[in-house]
Chains A and B, each alone.
Chain A
Amino acid sequence: MTSGGVQFAFGPGVLSSWWDWLWFHNQTDTSTFARGVDLVFFYIFWVSAAFFVLLMVLMAYFAVRYRRRPGVAPEPSASHNTPLEITWSVVPTILMAVMFVWGTYEYLPLKIAPADAEVINVTARQWGWEWVYENGAQSRDRERIADMDSPVFALPRGRPVKFIMSSNDVIHSMYIAAFRIKRDVFPNMYTSQWTVPKEATHRWSEEMKQFVPIQPGANNGYYMACAEYCGDQHSQMWARIMVLEDADYVKWKEIQASTDDIPLLVLGEILHKTKGCVSCHSVDGSKGTGPTWKGIWGTTEQFKGGGSAVVDENYVRESILEPAKNIVQGFANQMTSFQGQVTERELMALTTYIKSLSAKPDDLEAAKAASDAEMEAKKKAAEEATNP
């Protein structure tokens, strides 16, 4: 990531001059809005820079030219000049009127997505993102960003996508700097934003059987981040955006959509990350917002306000679907319900995965066996279906 100079959060661009610091290096045409926004910014920048230099040069010149000389009285001068004062009121007003009109002109299209835009449903939660594509696909690709397993999302090049967003808990804000888009995400209503990515960043590699950057090092895709402060791991809600050509994009979505052929144990491990469990529940015994899963299977949890339960299939199911029902002592009531967001098979997968993390080797064996048995049964059913 760091080879070849300093790189920036929006993805591509190696810093080659001070100029790149100012705004976006070779990044002004990444989405429908980027170029327009950048032009308005540069207009404001040059107007401001001109005023700033003028004022500071005058201030410095006056400070030297009219510095105090003992015993010398300053020469009288007017303390009021109507034409001058009108000029310096009217000129900035006109310059700013242009900023307003141009800025609003570039902004309004952002609020109106084309009718043929592909809809991606976005759910934000403390602390992670979930994108559900039209075919039901959710990303299972992960990348470690800012010390957190973060999702990798794909977008099609040259086609409009509309994000319809809601939050499971507090306010978040979905921000993709390279596309110059940002919109708050609320728990009590849907908000939306849209974009057309203009440059493909990744392609399918047949040799490596995965999606790889087209210009590795120079453009590894774009960052997405949460821009509205939402608590503990607000700063770790990063995601990677890769832009694919149409054929690759369809292929990516198909790969992500099918989880049926993934063994339960493997699927459980994937879901632990993709469903955001990982942000609170560690699997290595380290302390988090929620209890660690390591060695939890078969133990007895003590609840706040009395009561206890053994961690078994039913307890795991209840904890996922009705997390607020019983709170384990020493932890806060933080988790939101996953009712309707996980399938029965996914629940089984998570249970199997948690079981495999148990302290007892027997449980790991049992989880493996259950996972394999289910795959066998599936295979058998599929064979029967094709050879009746």
Chain B
Amino acid sequence: MSGHHHESYLAPRETLWKSIMAWVYTLDHKRIGVMYLIATTFAFLLAGVFALLVRAELWEPTRTIVDEATNQTRVVGQFLPGWTERGLPVTPNNAYNRAFTLHGAIMVFLFIIPAVPAALGNIFLPIMLGAKDVAFPRLNLLSWYTYVFGGLFAVWSLASGGAETGWTFYTPYSSTTNWGSTTAMVLAAFILGFSSIFTGINFVATVHKLRVPGMGWFDMPLFAWAIYATAIIQVLATPVLGITLLLLVLERTLRIGIFDPAMGGDPVLFQHFFWFYSHPAVYIMILPGMGIASELIAVHCHKKIFGYRAIAFSSIAIAAISFLVWAHHMFTAQTAAFNAVFSALTFLVAIPTAIKVFNWISTMYKASIALNTPMLYAMSFLFCFTIGGLTGPPLATLAVDIHLHDTYFVVAHFHYVMMGGTVMAFLGGLHHWWPKMFGKMYNEFWGRVGAVLVFIGFNVTFFIQFFMGTQGMPRRYATYVEEFTSFHKISTVGSWILFLGFLIHALVFAHSLVAGRAAPKNPWGGLTFEWEADSPPVEHNFDHEPVITHGPYDFESVVPPHCSEQDFPLHPAAQNGRAHGH
């Protein structure tokens, strides 16, 4: 490896073969991060196609046509009419059921859980800490291959007809239906869990051991705090999912009664096990998004983040409380006293979450706000995540949840947090760090157009779903009563706007890679270590180990590294304590 230390980590080797092998065997956290980025983007596209199919299917309440042969009305498939399984056509309802299951399972297990930590986290966590790599580079590579291996099982499930249990695999439906595809999907989730655990262990060790000398816990960027909190949940919660899914596979294959009442099992036990992982997993999905939001807002507002410690501690508080709220997914299945306890615990999560939002918006006070693509996404995040957060309390409130449980209100709430929160932050982070990752600037104008379209499309698609939920439209419905038709049509139109926004982003990024102008080392005036490194960074990130001379958000007293004082002047009041990044 010697001889490459001072080149870009993306630089090709002497021959094509060596270049390919250098990626296949790479231990460089940045290359592994890029490989994750590519793999998760592929998963996102795949799951996104299923989302569009789901929305297309719901354009009409039922799929009725007049059969010309018999002159009778009958239900037919609107899409995928030729989908067969073991020679038998799949009913149109089931085509829909598979589409939403695959959308959910792929988005959750293959995209949103790994996307931020394993892609952006992998690339930027070590650099932000001033480290050369993660703590266990070989484990890091193994986690990527484990992810791909798990992904192959998901593709197998898809190719063999697709699971139709919903991503939650509730028993006994999941233990009695559609043997091969469902087992494959459950195994996929099981294997992907290991990938997630490996990444988590790696990041916990990295944060503990590899901070550059002199960097205390409270000198870490907030993105690192968020990734750290996420990694703790990954390590502690994912094994529970692993054992649960393993029990499910054992029940299916060996006919041991664990969850299936026909064999003496208890289906509610599965729900407890499943949500004991999957509720904390919701925070695995959102915490990294919150971390990105902190970076975006601080850098593009060029302002010291308001309440640094409150944001850092709230990440840890959310991680801790996340283990105590799982049963709020089962208010319609449990006894009164049990529900009351979990309702109260659920409200606790809302408090640190609210504190974060207050801090982010306070950071914008007396700031210097650049309304570029990453900042537009940060504001989209604040808008959508606030709605997502505020629609949590109705679901935590017992009397109201009984009505809203398993309706479109839940679908909308979940998407406002996961997509409006995490995906908006992820897209903002992608634009924010794109120049650093690939050494190329993107087209700012078209980036903003894409951001605005994604924002509009997202809200058109999902805002209306809150009303569908309050009016009593249950979720996971292929067929519905015609009263809801106009609601569904609006939502479907939104999904097309959303698609257009993503298409523009894809073109902007492709154009940037091919013809983008070279990125400077610090295009946004950031103060964290990645902005001291080259764009793209060299193989071991820095030519010399960086020295910590200021906090990550000391914009008031420091001119950012590689930036001029004309672009980022210091306020006269702050001149006394002035410093200069290097």
Contact = CB atoms under 8 A, between A and B. Distances in A.
Most buried by A among B93, B382, B573: B93
Interface string B403-418: 1011100000000000
A309 B570 CA distance: 91
A84 B368 CA distance: 22
Given A171-B170, A227-B406, A232 B91 contact: yes
A270 interface: no
A284 B72 contact: yes
Interface in A1-26: 1-2, 6-10, 21-24
Given A9-B484, A40-B397, A79-B305, A180 B574 contact: no
B383 interface: yes
A63 interface: yes
A38 to B, nearest CB: 9
Contacts of B362: 84
A228 B170 contact: yes
B173 A8 contact: no
B2 interface: no
A103 B344 CA distance: 10
A62 B407 contact: no
Q: Mostly helix, strand, loop or mixed at chain B's interface? A: mixed
Contacts of A284: 70, 72, 74
Interface size class of A (residues with CB under 8 A): 35 or more
B357 to A, nearest CB: 7
Given A44-B394, A103-B399, A182-B403, A6 B173 contact: no
Given A88-B358, A180-B402, A96 B350 contact: yes
Given A104-B340, A146-B61, A236-B479, A227 B332 contact: yes
Interface in A77-129: 77, 79-80, 84-85, 88-89, 92-93, 96-97, 99-100, 102-108, 110-111
B481 A238 contact: yes
A97 B166 CA distance: 34
A10 B471 contact: yes
A80 B266 CA distance: 51
A97 B362 CA distance: 25
Contacts of A358: none
B351 A89 contact: yes
Contacts of A238: 481
Contacts of A79: 304-308, 553
Interface stretch (A50-58, A155-163, A208-216, A344-352): A50-58
Interface string B219-254: 000000000000000000000000000000000000
By CB atoms of chain B within 10 A, which of A105, A106, A226, A228 has the most?
A: A228
A177 to B, nearest CB: 3
Contacts of B164: 231
A22 B62 CA distance: 25
A139 B72 CA distance: 26
B367 A66 contact: yes
Interface string B247-287: 00000000000000110001110000000000000000000
Contact of B480 (A92, A173, A235): A235
B367 A74 contact: yes
A66 B406 contact: no
A80 B62 contact: no
A73 B467 CA distance: 45
Interface string B536-569: 0000000000000000010110000000001111
B396 A92 contact: no
B1 interface: no
B94 interface: yes
Interface centre among A37, A182, A183 (most CB of B within 10 A): A182
A310 B75 CA distance: 30
Contacts of A96: 347, 350-351, 393
A41 interface: yes
A197 to B, nearest CB: 16
A287 B89 contact: yes
Contacts of A40: 397, 399-400
A234 to B, nearest CB: 6
Interface in A203-259: 223, 225-236, 238
Interface stretch (A184-192, A364-372, A380-388): A184-192
A379 B370 CA distance: 90
Nearest to B573: A76
Nearest to A105: B399
A170 interface: yes
A72 interface: yes
Nearest to B355: A89
Interface in B458-495: 467, 470-484, 486
A287 to B, nearest CB: 7
A51 B355 CA distance: 12
B479 A235 contact: yes
B19 interface: no
A206 B470 CA distance: 37
B470 to A, nearest CB: 5
Interface residues of B, number: 112
B379 interface: yes
Contacts of B471: 8-10, 21, 24, 177
B387 interface: yes
B456 interface: no
A189 B467 CA distance: 33
B423 interface: no
A71 B302 CA distance: 13
B262 A187 contact: yes
A235 B67 CA distance: 22
A303 interface: no
Contact of B307 (A22, A80, A146, A183): A80
A324 B472 CA distance: 36
B364 A63 contact: yes
A171 B262 CA distance: 12
Contact of B483 (A7, A58, A100, A188): A7
**Best-buried of A23, A96, A187, A223 by chain B (most CB within 10 Å):** A96
A152 interface: no
Contacts of A55: 357-358, 361, 382, 386
A9 B256 CA distance: 42
A315 B568 CA distance: 87
A178 interface: yes
Contact of A235 (B166, B347, B476): B476
B369 interface: yes
A231 B177 CA distance: 9
B173 A10 contact: no
Interface in B298-355: 301-310, 332-333, 335-336, 339-340, 343-344, 347, 350-351, 354-355
A21 B465 CA distance: 11
Nearest to A177: B472
A73 B558 CA distance: 12
Q: Which of B91, B367, B471 lies at the interface centre, i.e. has the most chain A CB atoms within 10 A of its CB?
A: B471
B472 A104 contact: no
A68 to B, nearest CB: 5
A342 interface: no
Contact of B93 (A8, A22, A77, A232): A232
Interface in A23-41: 23-24, 33, 36-37, 40-41
15 contacts: A37-B400, A44-B394, A48-B390, A48-B391, A59-B379, A76-B573, A80-B307, A85-B358, A100-B397, A146-B61, A182-B332, A182-B403, A227-B405, A227-B475, A284-B70
Q: Which 7 A-B pairs have the closest CB atoms?
A: A177-B472, A103-B397, A188-B261, A107-B398, A106-B399, A235-B477, A62-B364
Interface of A: 1-2, 6-10, 21-24, 33, 36-37, 40-41, 44-45, 48, 51-52, 55-56, 58-59, 62-63, 66-77, 79-80, 84-85, 88-89, 92-93, 96-97, 99-100, 102-108, 110-111, 145-148, 169-171, 173, 175, 177-178, 180-184, 186-188, 191, 223, 225-236, 238, 284-289, 330
Given A9-B471, A74-B303, 11 more contacts: A9-B483, A62-B367, A75-B573, A79-B306, A96-B350, A107-B339, A146-B62, A170-B176, A187-B261, A223-B481, A234-B476
